[in-house]
Amino acid sequence: MPGIINRRAVRWLRGQLPELVAAGAISSENAAAIERHYGSVESRTNFGFVILATVGAALVGAGIILLIAHNWDDLSRAARTVIAFIPLLVALALIGFVLMQRNESRPWREAVAVFDMAAVATAISLISQTYQVQGTFDSFMRVWLLLSIPIVYLLRTTFGAVVYVVGTIVWLFDHWGILGGQQNPNFAWLLLLLVIPYFLLRYRQDCDSRETTILATVMLLASVMALGLTADFTKADLGCIAFAGLLTGIYLCGMKFFPRQDERLHTVALLGGIGIGVTAIVLSFEGTWHASHTLSWDKRSGSQNLGLIIELLFPVAAVCLAGWDLIRKQWRFSLSAAAFPIVAAIAWWIARSCDSSTDTRCMFAGAAVINGYMLLLGIDILMRGIRTHSIARANFGLVLIAALAVARFFDSDLSFVTRGLGFIVVGAGFLFANIVLFKKRVPA
Amino acid sequence: MKTLRIGIFVLVAVAQLAVPASVAWKREQTFAHGRIWKLKTAPVDPVDVVRGRYIWLQYAISEFAQSERADWKSPIYVVLKEDADGFAQVDHISQTPVSGDNVVQADAGGWSDGTQSISFPFRNYWVTEKIAPRAEQAYRENSRRGKENAYVTLRVCNGDAALEQLFIDSQPLADYLRAQDAKK
């Protein structure tokens, strides 16, 4: 039947290629062409199948747990212990089989990896229940994550890596939930560091694939959450600079490492850009700069100081990344977006230059710097949108300007007439920019 | 490359099996060789007894008369003794490590008016989904003021304290529930 591919036959044919080349039946160019042909066919059909296989494995794992949980009371402790290990032993046997026989099949690798991760969790929880082990969810997650990460590398599983990163987020919030700002979240950075080499491998292999984008996105979300909790934990009042650094870094990485032929942004750059906009809006409120719970160096613990170093790492890395491209004159990013960590640092320095309890002028000045910056950023993105005929980008620039106007509507003492005029100007800007862009697009 | 991968797999498999197996093994040793203690449970707040699939236990010996406040930042070592009825009582609390099958590691809770609160690490008694609601009800009914009829057995061995069984009306929980079902 045309269009349907017999995978077993394809696997056989691909296995035969080296022999055929050695025997002189086909040239190595022919072999490479055949390899390319079936490789591309497989990658086209794999994504949906991988998802289905992974979901299937997760459901089988969950089903086994439910089956075991039923009638559990009637079993002896020894029987329960044996049963607790069965899913894990099956999963390990399947991993052995995949490594020996199906190492090139992504659906097999992904599904078996997710099944093994579920089986490890099952074994630990059932043993804990059987033996009345009094661990916390926090320690359970930590052990589970550390036992699961080798599987990500062993089976080269992107969905396994996604599950691992989501697990890290769950750990972070559970760990944080117990005592709030007193809990040390630095372990989350170690957990995230452990998955980065895999991400780099994935990136080198196929930076444009959906799987790489999904993994990058969950890693970014985890980093943002971890940074928020780290900033709260370190009590250094540097969260604004750290966030500006992280989000700018994400934007710059998106632009540099995920370039696109068309003018659209890659998801990573887009998320970074949105993050920059949202952070700038938050920092444009004067009230944000009041929040201060700074501890001096000597009162801060070792892990709080480590958290502080982690916080500072992001703005430094973002500035270096932007600086490197600027020196080599090879930048594609928006200069105003790239300047965000520096602007945030200047605003922070101004806001902290007078005593916040007696004098609020410095905080007002800090917020004013961000307001000015945000206006500039909005105009820059709008202009880039108009230049590149990108309606989405132009509107994002306008959204930033409108958000700034709305924010000032609520917290400034401007008269209603001035506010009204401001809204009319922004609204007219929206209409004008969109009309111009649509007119430019129609002839094209 | 394949050999390396298999070697790593063997290491990972050993680690994944060893973690739950070591927990099970340690607990088997405690159940087999640990000294047995009976701990009377305390009356409970009727609203928050079962969270998820475990019963949240409170102990009568969680309050101990002591003139000085224990340091809550480091673990405490609770030395147990048996009373005339065979139930565990706190003999004394030590801030420095003490070994023996009559010592349980715990956390120091609050202190007020000469009473030190002790937070024992064995407060969750795991039950299955199926019996959780009835177990909750049975524990609640038998841990009320005036009808304190529940206790747990605890095995202590080499610093490991393992909850063994929850007794209600002098019967293991499962037997008690079965007997209650038979009565209906």
Per-residue pLDDT of chain A in tens (444 residues, 90 and over written 9) = 344 456 667 778 888 888 888 888 888 888 888 877 776 555 555 666 677 777 777 777 777 666 665 556 677 888 888 888 988 998 999 999 999 888 888 888 988 998 899 889 888 888 888 888 877 888 889 999 999 999 999 999 999 999 999 999 999 888 877 555 567 889 999 999 999 999 999 998 888 888 899 999 999 999 999 999 998 888 888 889 999 999 999 999 998 888 877 767 888 999 999 999 999 989 888 888 875 556 666 677 788 889 889 999 999 999 999 999 888 887 788 888 899 999 999 999 888 887 766 677 788 888 889 988 988 898 888 888 888 877 788 888 888 888 888 887 776 666 777 777 777 877 787 777 777 767 766 554
Q: Identify all chain A residues contacting B163, using CB atoms and an 8 Å cutoff.
A: 132, 134
The model's pTM is: 0.78
Distance set, CA A401 to CA A3, A431, B98, B172 (Å): 51, 14, 67, 69
* Cross-chain residue pair A96–B9, CB shorter than 8 Å: yes
Pick from A340, A283, A350, A341: which is nearest to A316 by CA?
A: A341
Give me the sign of the Cα torsion angle A410, A414, A417, A419: negative
Domain match, B8 and B18 both: yes
Give the percent of chain B with pLDDT over 70. Answer: 95
Is B129 contained in some domain?
yes
Question: Quick one: pLDDT at residue B156?
Answer: 93
Domain match, B124 and B174 both: yes
Half-sphere exposure (CA, 13 Å, Cβ side) for A70? 5
* Cross-chain residue pair A128–B125, CB shorter than 8 Å: no
- Contacts with A, B 74-113, CB within 8 Å: none
Domain match, B2 and B61 both: no
Domain match, B20 and B85 both: no
Domain match, B16 and B86 both: no
**Residue of chain B whose alpha carbon sits nearest to that of A123:** B20
Domain match, B50 and B125 both: yes
**Residue of chain A whose alpha carbon sits nearest to that of B177:** A73
Domain match, B134 and B54 both: yes
Is B72 contained in some domain?
no
Is B43 contained in some domain?
yes
* Cross-chain residue pair B23–A131, CB shorter than 8 Å: yes
Question: Quick one: pLDDT at residue A201?
Answer: 93
Is B99 contained in some domain?
no
Q: Which of B2, B126, B167, B173 to mutate to test the interface with A (most CBs of A within 10 A)?
A: B126
Is B108 contained in some domain?
no
CA–CA distance, A113 with A120 (Å, rounded to integer): 11
CA–CA distance, A327 with A346 (Å, rounded to integer): 22
Domain match, B25 and B39 both: no
* Cross-chain residue pair A72–B126, CB shorter than 8 Å: no
* Cross-chain residue pair A132–B126, CB shorter than 8 Å: yes
Q: Burial, B87: exposed, middle or buried (Cβ in 10 Å; 0-12, 13-18, 19+)?
A: middle
Query: Would you state the structure tokens that stand for residue A28, as one six-digit string?
Result: 């190595």
3-state secondary structure of B156: strand
Domain match, B8 and B84 both: no
Distant-in-sequence, close-in-space partners of B175: CB < 8 Å, separation ≥ 6: none
* Domain carrying residue B41: 35-67+80-91+118-183
Is the distance from CB of B93 to CB of B78 less than 8 angstroms?
A: yes
* Cross-chain residue pair A85–B21, CB shorter than 8 Å: yes
Check CB contact of B121 with chain A, cutoff 8 Å: yes
**Of residues B137 and B128, which shows the higher confidence score?**
B137
Domain match, B141 and B123 both: yes
Is B8 contained in some domain?
yes
Give the percent of chain B with pLDDT over 90. Answer: 30
Place of tokens 């990896």: A113
The counts of H helices and E strands in chain B are 3, 14
Structurally, chain B folds into a number of domains equal to 2
Q: Which of B9, B31, B104 to mutate to test the interface with A (most CBs of A within 10 A)?
A: B9
Query: Would you state the structure tokens that stand for residue A24, as one six-digit string?
Result: 């002189």
Is B112 contained in some domain?
no
Question: Quick one: pLDDT at residue A294?
Answer: 65
Find the helix packing angle between A77-101 and A28-69, rounded to 10°: 170
| pLDDT single digits (tens) A315-344 | 999 999 999 988 888 778 888 889 999 999
Domain match, B7 and B87 both: no
* Cross-chain residue pair B20–A95, CB shorter than 8 Å: no
Is B137 contained in some domain?
yes
Q: What are phi and psi of A265, to 5 degrees?
A: -90, 150
Question: Quick one: pLDDT at residue A1?
Answer: 38
Question: Quick one: pLDDT at residue A233?
Answer: 86
By Cβ distance, the residue of B12, B121, B125 closest to A154 is: B12
* Residue B94 C-alpha from the chain's centroid: 19
Domain match, B1 and B87 both: no
Question: Quick one: pLDDT at residue A161?
Answer: 95
Place of tokens 């600027």: A326
Q: Identify all chain B residues contacting A130, using CB atoms and an 8 Å cutoff.
A: 24, 126
Going by pLDDT thresholds of 50, 70 and 90, the confidence category of residue B49 is low
Check CB contact of B20 with chain A, cutoff 8 Å: yes
By Cβ distance, the residue of B12, B20, B128 closest to A84 is: B20
Query: Would you state the structure tokens that stand for residue A42, as one six-digit string?
Result: 């497989």
Q: Identify all chain A residues contacting B28, using CB atoms and an 8 Å cutoff.
A: 131
DSSP string, A16-29: HHHHHHHTTSS-HH
Average pLDDT over residues B71-97: 90
Q: Which of A83, A132, A178 to mutate to test the interface with B (most CBs of B within 10 A)?
A: A132
- Cβ-based contacts under 8 A for chains A and B: 89
